Amino acid sequence: MSLQNMFDAESDTQSVAEAVMRDGYAIVSNAIDAAELEAMRSDLRPHLESAHTGHEDFMGSRTKRFGALIAKSEAVQTLLMHPMVLAAADKALLPHCVRYHVQYTGVMHLEPGEKAQVLHRDTGLYPFANPCPPMTVATMWAISDFTEENGGTLLVPGSHLWEDARVPEAHEVLATRMPAGSVLMYTGNTLHGGGRNASNAPRTGVALHYSLGWLRQEENQYLAVPAEQARHLPREIREIMGYALGSTHLGFVDHVAPDDYLNGVRDAADSDLAPEGMSEQVDALQRLHVSDSAPGPSRYYEIKTE
């Protein structure tokens, strides 16, 4: 098996999204330009110097990590809102939620000598057996080149549809190869892990994950970015962070919608927790079915009176 689903910035956006759904992953080469890449590098540089390597096996004893990238970098906004990534997230997540949010933002910087990480699914954070609908979509942005030698993310194409019990064979595991400025996308159901860095230079990636708007986010965006800073972020960044309702009534503060609250609204009468159209959208969602009983016709139950 060899790496497929290689696209570039000119590719048809829907084809990229379809590849992610079909095979569990896609790669877009040179998705950002040299200036955007350099802006990202310069935002990360001071934080990378002071970052620590992992102290648990999963996090990697030679891997530097840090998160809260929306607070630390303005350049990350371009990556976060990249149209090809959002198209894939729309296709994977919007059947099951009215809005998706940022799940995680972080740097994964593999120093030379790092060993391969255990393969895993990001949906493993939640109590759902695979195969299950995608709960999250992950991106891994290459800030340095990604090669087989330097620990380019390991992937198991097609594993998003496997039963939990199926263990991949060595020939089913592929290493991501992509030049700096490219992005790998995969669903939370796809088996993956950091590779082994057998080169003599670090491999730097920026991981930006998205999740269904009704799930608890892996990284707490409301504490990661101080409110005073969040207030000045562009509206679409605040919304995707979770300052927009995740569904009707989901995420309010003292009965005020979070973005209103952030902007000083304190009276519930001045805020709408079931905005026009959202209830209909909620009703139109493809509902996840995770019990053994047959799905019912409704989620509301009128008490029958004689």
Applying CB under 6 A, the residues found at the interface with ligand AKG are 108, 117, 140, 153, 192-194, 205
CB of 70 to ligand AKG, least distance (A): 19
CB of 259 to ligand AKG, least distance (A): 30
CB of 158 to ligand AKG, least distance (A): 18
- Measure the CA angle with vertex 227, ends 210 and 221; round to 5°: 20
The nearer residue to ligand AKG, 199 or 279, going by C-beta atoms, is 199
The nearer residue to ligand AKG, 140 or 143, going by C-beta atoms, is 140
* Torsion of Cα atoms, 210 then 211 then 213 then 217, to 10°: -90
CB of 256 to ligand AKG, least distance (A): 35
The nearer residue to ligand AKG, 193 or 246, going by C-beta atoms, is 193
CB of 133 to ligand AKG, least distance (A): 20
Question: How far is the C-alpha of 1 from the C-alpha of 305, rounded, in Å?
Answer: 62
CB of 264 to ligand AKG, least distance (A): 37
Tokens of 110: 């593999």
Question: Which residue has the closest beta carbon to ligand AKG?
Answer: 194
Residue 178's Cβ-side half-sphere holds a number of Cα atoms within 13 Å equal to 31
Tokens of 114: 């790092």
Tokens of 90: 């729309």
The nearer residue to ligand AKG, 75 or 138, going by C-beta atoms, is 138
Write the DSSP symbol of residue 185: E
* DSSP secondary structure, 116-129, as one string: PPPPB-GGGGSS-P
The nearer residue to ligand AKG, 120 or 266, going by C-beta atoms, is 120
CB of 193 to ligand AKG, least distance (A): 5
The nearer residue to ligand AKG, 155 or 224, going by C-beta atoms, is 155
Instruction: Name beta bridge partners: 175.
Output: 154
Question: How far is the C-alpha of 261 from the C-alpha of 7, rounded, in Å?
Answer: 41
Residue 4's region, left for phi above 0, alpha for psi from -120 to 50, else beta, is beta
The nearer residue to ligand AKG, 194 or 251, going by C-beta atoms, is 194
Count of other CB atoms within 10 angstroms of residue 251: 20
Write the DSSP symbol of residue 171: G
